[in-house]
Amino acid sequence: MGDRVLVIGGGGREHALGWKLAQSPQVQDLYFAPGNGGTSLLGTNVDIAVTDTTGLLNFATDQKIDFTVVGPEAALEAGVVDAFRARDLNIFGPTKAAAQIETSKAFTASFMERYNIPQPTSVTVNTIKTALQYTASHNSTEYVIKADGLAAGKGVILPASKKEAEEVIRQMLSGKLFGEAGQTIVFQERLIGQEVSAFAVTDGQNIAMLPFFQDHKPVYDGDKGPNTGGIGCYTPVPIITDKIAEQITTIMQSVINGLRQDGILYTGVLYAGLFVTPEGPKVIEFNARFGDPECEPMMLILDGDFYPILKRAVAGDILPTDIKVKKGAIADVVLCSAGYPTKFKIGYPITGLESINDSDILVFHAGTKTINNQIVTTGGRVLNVTAYGNDLKTALDKAYSAVRRIHFKDMHYRTDIGQKALNQ
């Protein structure tokens, strides 16, 4: 008899995790809370919110779940991991205290300073007068302005001129732009270089690095328009040389060591958003979970059974050599509802999915639901078209050929995913 596994979440990331776990001979039954139209094809969707700690705990106990995997940060922040551990249930993900590396900017800034994690320099300001003194003495291209509080991913401004900077400062500090979240602002050194996403599985002591990815955040081609949660990504990343990979691995290990010294055992996935600058990699943010969309292509390029590795992270047995990656490249193109990340319509039928039957192409569902045997759109990010190839160009060509076979009203996607890497 194999294990009964619960995956918490309902996005493309959780569909991909479920797809990979379903291939493990050790996994017998899969449950998703709440899941989506894609996960319902792999297991059973249960209608419990990711932050409903009591509901999740009761389900796991009643259904004799052997192992739980947490997808989104909201569940971590709600203390789901702490609650499961208190009942001796096996769960993959950091505790609420450990997840502060993502959920609290103040915690992370002081942590990084104490442990010499390379990061851009910054100055925190909370009056218009001090802010204007800063803009008077710095060139506007040297810094970015960040709202200190959570601003739904929109709190970072790269001003094009002093005039724009002053306008943003007045709007933020007066509370007009982001309310309370903008009433403290941070001027941060503007980094020059390419961004990468780095991931490590950890048991709180040792780490095993997962593949590096480049994500595309802005919604339109040419990096135009507002930032999304991520609208397409790929691996391998050409700018990651062996030396840079080693530097980033050292950063990840220092974070885990530092947390342990502070009395926090971090188990799960650590995700760093970095800039590769001429002075080496610098961290702009940490997340306490797998990336979305990065997790979708990641599951496709990992070789071998991933389930025992997740179990070893929880048991405290991670080895740096645990992760095996297939040769070749993977691209992921996100199909979303036009208007995302702000206003968009949902409820449209999706067609063409059945016409994709190439073992190198997988479509992971994000915002979908099955109603009367018809898959319909239910969110901003709707589907992830993920394709494998011997090289990035082949992977991208395959992904886009599949994209052209899928249709739903208001479908939008970027046509230039991976171009930055191909141009290098």
**Residue 340 to residues 74, 264, 382, Cα–Cα distance (Å):** 20, 37, 10
Q: Does 35 bind ligand GLY (CB under 6 A)?
A: no
First CA to last CA distance, the chain: 50
* Per-residue x/- track, 220-249, ligand AMP (CB under 6 A): -------x----------------------
Q: Does 317 bind ligand AMP (CB under 6 A)?
A: no
Hey, is 382 helix, strand or coil?
A: strand
Q: Which of 273, 304, 308, 352 binds ligand AMP (CB under 6 A)?
A: 273
When CB distances are held under 5 to 8 angstroms depending on the partner's kind, the choice from ligand AMP, ligand GLY, none that residue 190 binds is ligand AMP
> Which parts of 277-336 interact with ligand GLY (CB under 6 A)?
287, 291-292, 294
Question: What's the min distance (Å) between Cβ of 229 and ligand GLY?
Answer: 6
419: exposed, middle or buried (C-beta count within 10 Å: 0-12, 13-18, 19+)?
middle
Q: Could you tell me which of 38, 82, 22, 23 has the C-alpha nearest to residue 56?
A: 82
Ramachandran class of 87: left when φ > 0, alpha when ψ lies in -120 to 50, beta otherwise:
alpha
- The footprint of ligand AMP on this chain (CB under 6 A) covers a number of residues equal to 14
Q: What amino acid occupies position 238?
A: P
Question: What's the min distance (Å) between Cβ of 223 and ligand GLY?
Answer: 15
> What burial letters (b/e) apply to 149-175, b meaning 16+ CB within 10 Å?
eebeeebebebeeeeebbebbeebbee
Q: Does 102 bind ligand GLY (CB under 6 A)?
A: no
CA distance 218 to 216: 6
Tokens of 412: 């939008």
Q: Does 128 bind ligand AMP (CB under 6 A)?
A: no
CA distance 304 to 324: 7
> Which parts of 216-235 interact with ligand GLY (CB under 6 A)?
229-230
Instruction: Closer to ligand GLY by CB, 214 or 378: give it.
Output: 214
Q: Does 284 bind ligand AMP (CB under 6 A)?
A: yes
Q: Does 381 bind ligand AMP (CB under 6 A)?
A: no
Tokens of 278: 């001429």
- The footprint of ligand GLY on this chain (CB under 6 A) covers a number of residues equal to 7
β-strand 361-365 against 411-412: which pairing, if any? unpaired
Question: What's the min distance (Å) between Cβ of 153 and ligand AMP?
Answer: 6
Tokens of 358: 């190439």
Please report, as ranges, the residues that interact with ligand GLY according to CB under 6 A.
Answer: 215, 229-230, 287, 291-292, 294
Please report, as ranges, the residues that interact with ligand AMP according to CB under 6 A.
Answer: 120, 144, 153, 156, 188-191, 195, 217, 227, 273, 284-285
